[in-house]
Structure 1
């Protein structure tokens, strides 16, 4: 009987040992999947909403100034079809709006569930991304708010991953601004950070788990690269985000809040207070909306 599992046998052992806080090398079985054929990806780019497709030239610095990023003047389908030599980098965002890719991410997360659910609860806000890049492209230094496994489909790349929560790499104020929104994802990189990093060299069939907000950057190899990223949120990622939002508000009124993890009782109180406040605000808005509807008659 054909084995249709997403991950290779014993491919999740390192993931199970590291989750949720540490990076881990993983093995997968999707590198020959027809959904990742070049023409299939070109057609996907053409039918996705414009807001789900981001692209630029890939000759970027590790700590690239967003103002210096340039885009190619080509249709998105053409960028995919000529990615081998057009010098571009592209991400297809939230491809799970397409039923075929949604089924694939669900299958992958189903295999991860025996590890993830007992530790961080149900996987929420499941999303899938596909990265395409020309030879030698760079994805600059940044961090993401989700748990993430990046599966290498075609070509090679090196992902350099830094410890999550190290305030000497990403200061508390940067975390807080990140959760406030409105800023570009690219961050300042100091080569001194590299002493704390792990390099994950990826070829087809390789994958890497990247913990929530573990900073990283990516160097593509000498041929075009295709990678599939499956992401999810959890109770842990939700709590971490709420902590930074509360700390940002405290800092704004003159307090110097403890960093997440320094005082677990205070952390729990902040998360609970934020949830209660957001719930009360949402309830008040619903009630106000109903009153407005009544007054309109």
Structure 2
């Protein structure tokens, strides 16, 4: 089975890696993405890979202020229609069946990805299960990402990757342990592109593009298929080095944009990180 039509593969190749855009997929009826199958998955995953909380959130919220519902992961999924929750099952590839599914889907995309950004590295899958109206706050992620809408609808608003939206200091803090959630200002809204996702739709989200998500009026299931590239790791390391330089009172230049490389800063930061590890 092909998970994407030829026209979608052509469109993905035109978008990748820097441009967000809509695609379609053929996973709507896959048995592993049914609600009861996800109840079982939530019970098998390491508890650290299950994140869930109340879904009635503002666009911008401090991680410390996110409330919890008091339900178990399994109860949250079974009652997703009325419990007002947002949930993500992380690293679902650690489960053999879901890992095999992720590999199959990404293998189909590899023909468009690998000639552009090299071998797919650190392939991870995330499944989002959300109540009607739930909000995923404004944030960024370090992976190349295609999000597949399976059930329900949502609107994802994706913003430019320039530092007028996310300052360099926030990028740097993120790569030395900071949270993915970002500071929100209402004036950002006019700069975002809204993607209306229905079952069978997908959206390509470039590396670290700020975005937030609002569910429609029915429970939602989405499957996020992600991978890293050598470029994305170099960018992360360069940001880490810049954090150290800024802490020393310097004003470092931001990493080069794809396809330019960030080899020098990346190697320097890795050397510092190894030296610190040996020192411990």
Which of 33, 43, 46 is matched with 1:46 structurally?
A: 43
> Per-residue displacement from partner, 1:202-254 (whole Å, max 9, x unpaired)?
01110011111000000000000000001111011011101101111111112
The one-character-per-residue Cα deviations of 1:236-282 (angstroms, maximum 9, x if unpaired) are 101110110111111111211112228x999442223334555x649
* Residue 120 in structure 1 maps to residue 117 in structure 2: yes
Report SS of the residue matched to 2:221.
strand
Matches within 5 A, 1:210-221: 210-221=205-216
Partner of 1:18: 15
- The residue that corresponds to 2:2 in the other structure is 5
* SS at 2:214 equivalent: strand
Task: Give aligned pairs, total.
Answer: 279
1:43-97 per-residue CA deviation (whole Å, 9 max, x = no partner) reads 1111111111110010000002223211111221111111011111110010111
The residue correspondences of 1:124-273 to structure 2 (distance < 5 A) are 124-164=121-161, 166-181=162-177, 183-261=178-256, 267-273=262-268
Shift of the alpha carbon at 1:197?
1.3
State the partner residue of 1:294. Answer: none
State the shift of 1:31 in Å.
1.3
1:14 offset after TM fit, Å? Answer: 2.2
How many angstroms apart in 1 are the aligned matches of 2:262 and 2:87? 38
Gaps spanning 5+ residues in structure 2: where? none
Q: 2:79 aligns with which of 60, 79, 82?
A: 82
Distance 1:194 1:158 in 2: 13
| Runs of 4+ residues over 6 Å off in structure 1 | none
Shift in alpha-carbon separation, 1:266–1:213, aligned structure 2, 3 A: closer
Whether the aligned pair in 1 keeps the contact of 2:231 and 2:261 (CA below 8 Å) is no
Taking the aligned partners of 1:24 and 1:246, their CA distance within structure 2 comes to 32
CA deviations 1:139-166 (Å, max 9, x no partner) are: 00000011111000000000000112x1
- TM-score of the pair, normalised by structure 2: 0.94
Give 2:70's aligned residue. Answer: 73
Question: Using the alignment, how far apart are the partners of 2:200 and 2:28 within structure 1?
Answer: 6
Calculate the TM-score normalised by the size of structure 1. Answer: 0.89
Unmatched runs of 5 consecutive residues or more in structure 1: 290-297
Q: Could you say what the CA RMSD is over the residues aligned between the two structures, in angstroms?
A: 2.0
SS at match of 2:175: helix
Contact 2:9 2:112 in 1 (8 A): no
Q: From the CA coordinates, give the structure whose radius of gyration is larger.
A: 1
Cα pair 2:234 2:261 within 8 Å, conserved:
no
- Contact 1:12–1:27 (CA under 8 A) maintained in structure 2: no
Evaluate the alpha carbon distance shift between residue 75 and residue 275 of structure 1 in structure 2; reply closer, same or farther with a 3 A threshold. closer
Pair 1:272–1:265, CA change in 2 (3 A): farther
- Looking at structure 2, the residues matched to 266 and 236 of structure 1 have their Cα atoms a distance apart, in angstroms, of 7
How far did 1:12 drift?
2.2
